[in-house]
Chain A
Amino acid sequence: MSRGSGGGYDRHITIFSPEGRLFQVEYAFKAVKAAGITSIGVRGKDSVCVVTQKKVPDKLLDQSSVTHLFPVTKYLGLLATGITADSRSLVTQARNEAAEFRFQYGYEMPADILAKWIADKSQVYTQHAYMRPLGVVAMVLGIDEERGPLLYKCDPAGHFYGHKATSAGVKEQEAINFLEKKMKENPAFTYDETVQTAISALQSVLQEDFKATEIEVGVVRADNRIFRSLETEEIEEHLTAISERD
């Protein structure tokens, strides 16, 4: 005979519900969607590309200050989808952690180790009542010396996986369905194919054609391992290539 809900608190802090669920964690996932944007990441043969919408809600805002794409180190990028304030907090801590790693161990923090660190931190928030989970899904990308291009996604529940391609945000499921079809035969995308798959996936699920100023694109490549945000002109070139292809 189980006793109803946890005194009604199972929706307010991260304790178990009678069905064994953590409502606060589930609500954190909803908060990620409430931010109103969709992000996509694709891993190619020797590069990784992440794309997200750039919605500037007010014309008076300085567009260059609106970003969800953050360099954590020179070689590691982080695309944060969800609550902007939580994203900045996470990025600041991640940057600190990556710098300490480099100092302590003498080599650059790999993408998967950073992803694990983020996920372990997120797990703490799901188990301790005094801190709520962050409303952020983080995609970490980098080129690993031994394993090549890596794309990891970390969520508020503390899960993290390596991905061949993935998505987060409002149209997450539609994008994953689209990408599953594209990646079914395990293609080995070149750099251009990787970027264009990511951008066209976003265009397809949101059913709109973007201008170069309406999206942010971040890449790492085996021949240039520095994490970079693409310039407007470069995004233009890819958009043109996509529309000519179709």
Chain B
Amino acid sequence: MGDSQYSFSLTTFSPSGKLVQIEHALTAVGSGQTSLGIKASNGVVIATEKKLPSILVDEASVQKIQHLTPNIGTVYSGMGPDFRVLVRKSRKQAEQYLRLYKEPIPVTQLVRETATVMQEFTQSGGVRPFGVSLLVAGYDDKGPQLYQVDPSGSYFSWKASAMGKNVSNAKTFLEKRYTEDMELDDAIHTAILTLKEGFEGEISSKNIEIGKIGADKIFRVLTPAEIDDYLAEVE
């Protein structure tokens, strides 16, 4: 890809053996808005802050949590435009799998293919790594799953994870609160409480987004009204 003039990788090893561009990409992720995910016994929830640059922005026009397939959803921390590219590529890969095998793509496969794309951009000529980390939430025959994919292309399955500005506080909070037998509704409450921990200002249904998937295997973004109900329960 890219012009022949740039047929060399921009991500190269430093003398200490590090890939510095990837580290910088992780820094970009770390200064992005906080997002998190929790895997419950009967589903997965992902959530993110939705802080817009001005009150003049029409918040209904912005949706940070996106579907990749009817039963897999994703959210990011980092650079929004890079996220859109990955969503588009992942959706296409999922569709191609469906067309070939006449079966919905398993969550692990989709995560692996997305991660491969991200890795390619750390090695190909004339491109920079993606400035996003993704949380992928899905429910397939293997049950509920939550994966985190980093700019390097490495991915892990998580019981609960957080990314972005408030990552260390959020992870500490999640470590305390997480239990193996948590149910989806508890997980949603915990997710809201975790977001609240580092939230600057008043948390409301207008400045967070929540997506969930249960045993029905349908990934859904909650409406502001539903978020209000959960917020009231948390109070």
Contact = CB atoms under 8 A, between A and B. Distances in A.
| 9 A-B pairs closest in CB distance | A158-B81, A162-B61, A20-B28, A20-B27, A16-B24, A130-B3, A123-B81, A162-B58, A129-B126
Given A161-B62, A183-B55, A183-B56, 8 more contacts: A6-B10, A16-B27, A20-B131, A116-B84, A130-B2, A158-B80, A161-B61, A166-B57
Nearest to B62: A161
Interface residues of B, number: 45
A127 B55 contact: no
B81 A164 contact: no
Interface residues of A, number: 43
Q: Chain B CB within 10 Å — which of A43, A162, A183 has the most? A: A162
Given A161-B57, A180-B54, A183-B55, A129 B2 contact: yes
A130 B61 contact: no
Contacts of B88: 120
Given A130-B126, A162-B61, A163-B58, A2 B20 contact: yes
A179 to B, nearest CB: 6
Interface of B: 1-3, 5-6, 10, 14-16, 18, 20-21, 23-31, 52-58, 60-62, 79-82, 84-85, 88, 121, 126-131
Contacts of A123: 81-82, 84-85
A112 B23 contact: no
Contact of A127 (B30, B31, B127): B127
Contacts of A184: 55
Contacts of B1: 128
A63 to B, nearest CB: 32
B128 A14 contact: yes
23 contacts: A2-B24, A3-B20, A14-B128, A16-B21, A16-B24, A16-B27, A16-B28, A16-B128, A18-B20, A20-B26, A20-B27, A20-B31, A127-B82, A129-B2, A129-B3, A158-B80, A161-B52, A161-B62, A162-B58, A164-B58, A166-B57, A176-B54, A184-B55
Contacts of B121: 127
Q: Chain B CB within 10 Å — which of A130, A176, A179 has the most? A: A130
Contacts of A164: 56-58
